[in-house]
Amino acid sequence: MFKKIKILVLALVLLTLHQSNTPVKNTASDSPNIILIFMDDMGYGDLSSYGALDINTPNIDRLASEGIRFTNFLSAQAVCSASRAAILTGCYSNRIGITGALFPASPIGLNKEETTIAELLKQKNYATGIFGKWHLGDAPEFLPLNHGFDEYLGIPYSNDMWPVNYDGAPALAGTNKHRFPPLPLIRNHAPIDTISTLEDQAMLTSKFTDEAISFIRRNKKKPFFAYIPHPMPHVPINASAAFRGKSKQGLYGDMIQEIDYNVGKIMEVLKKEGLENNTMIIFTSDNGPWLNFGNHAGNTGGLREGKGSSFEGGQRVPCIIRWKGKIPGGLVANQLASTIDILPTIAKLTGTALPNKKIDGIDLGEILKGNMQLSPRKNFLYYYRKNALEAVRRDNWKLVFEHPSRSYLNQAPGVDGFPGAAPENIMMAEALYDLRRDPGEQYDVKSYFPEIVKELKALAEEARADLGDDLQKIEGANKRLAGKVK
């Protein structure tokens, strides 16, 4: 008997020693860690896995090879604040009163009555952190810690909202840039530093990545949600010294490759900490590229127009989701999907309750399981400006309504950080596009398919009754108000 007890004690000691040297694993299958990396103005064609030329993104490409790559994934709107409100709440941003890009000292922000992904995950006691650009209101009551996040390091709005000229020199009095206050770096509730130079901008990618890594390590024993909305490739762009001159696409390529390197750092930390198989990584962008910035802008992959437009170049973005051991590797999803689908998908896989208020997202869980025959999302509404319904889509059919639009066509782009022209009120004619055959939206086929036009116009009427339409001067019954500064 004594010998058996001695053997048992020895076994327990050995087990304890083994566990002390083994990375801690969060193994609860219904509480996966979630990392959401949200780029700013990254185009559909900016990653080598999406056809980028002379830009190498091996780490992000590995996410795609080990997970699922979406080819028909749409941002909710082609502009900063609206797209961020949408991904965090699962709503078309015009439903919740956030449109356009909010400026410093904005009188509005994300309403406290809306539920963010961070607040949703608090049902399961997730640790929540944001590291990067917020842009949903810079007044104290709108900052991230009032929307479900435990910690925050970042900038409150876009990195070009600062009193610095396009060449990096201080903005002169009387110029557009001079009206902006200094760009603050905020920790939790208060500024701790100022982003004053292009060299300061160059350090943002690594700074926010390192902070996210610290958060991951500090919370590895419990489920966590790390939201990493990088300020770039929104202009002004820059890369740290170690990455300059490393790509064949100039500073823009250097900066994208630095982002890829930092994504790789996160992947490596997950592996070392034993968290790789219980962490879902989502990588996507807020909208397409700001094309009038020329060689400091991204690539639409041949899609029409770019940021600030409801054509595909403005709203179709890369999206890659990896969850090793749960999502089959190497999948390509051609089904229609959107950033507004992220929240309900996370809710379903974590077993958390959806918000009480109406949302617009759809659970993509069946696609993540590898069901390439199922298309959960059938329709999509292309809203822009304050509340203009510029197009509607059903499957691969897209009906564009007559509307004034930003257009980059036939405009000479800028160079080396300076913008070219991008007229805002070019009239676009009503047209029907078959995106399966014509993703560049070049050939109007409405005269061939009147029954499709009729179906899509009926879908538009439903949308107008629900959300309104400034183009038709319809208010809509189910819009909610943004938060207002007290």
Environment class of 189 (CB within 10 Å of its CB; exposed 0-12, middle 13-18, buried 19+) = exposed
φ and ψ at 339, to 5 degrees? Answer: -60, -30
What are the contacts of 452-455 at 24+ separation with CB within 8 A?
A: 452/394, 452/397, 452/399, 453/399, 455/394
Tell me whether residue 330 is exposed, middle or buried, using C-beta atoms within 10 angstroms of its C-beta: 0 to 12, 13 to 18, 19 or more.
exposed
Handedness of CA 47, 51, 54, 59 (dihedral sign): positive
- DSSP reduced 3-state for 204: helix
Residue 463 CB partners (closer than 8 Å, separation 6+): 381, 389, 392, 469
Structure tokens at 154: 């970042």
Residue 230 designated active-site:
no
The bridge status of strand 426-428 relative to strand 403-405 is antiparallel
Name the active-site residue from 91, 135, 234, 403.
Answer: 135
- Whole-number Cα distances in Å, 367 to 302, 309, 376: 26, 28, 8
Measured between alpha carbons, how far is 299 from 335 in angstroms, rounded to an integer? Answer: 22
Name residues whose C-beta falls within 8 Å of residue 442's C-beta, 6 or more positions apart in sequence: 304
Q: Which residue in 294, 297, 268, 299 sits closest to 281, CA to CA?
A: 268
CA distances from 432 to 301, 382, 425 (A): 21, 14, 21
Has 319 been annotated as catalytic?
no
Pairing mode of beta strands 279-285, 33-39: parallel
Specify the amino acid at residue 233.
Answer: P
CA-angle at 312, arms to 307 and 315, nearest 5°: 50
DSSP code of 393? E
The angle subtended at Cα 256 by Cα 251 and Cα 259, nearest 5°, is 125
Rounded CA gap, 67 and 278, in Å? 13
401, 460 contact by CB (below 8 A): yes
Query: Catalytic amino acids?
Result: 80, 135
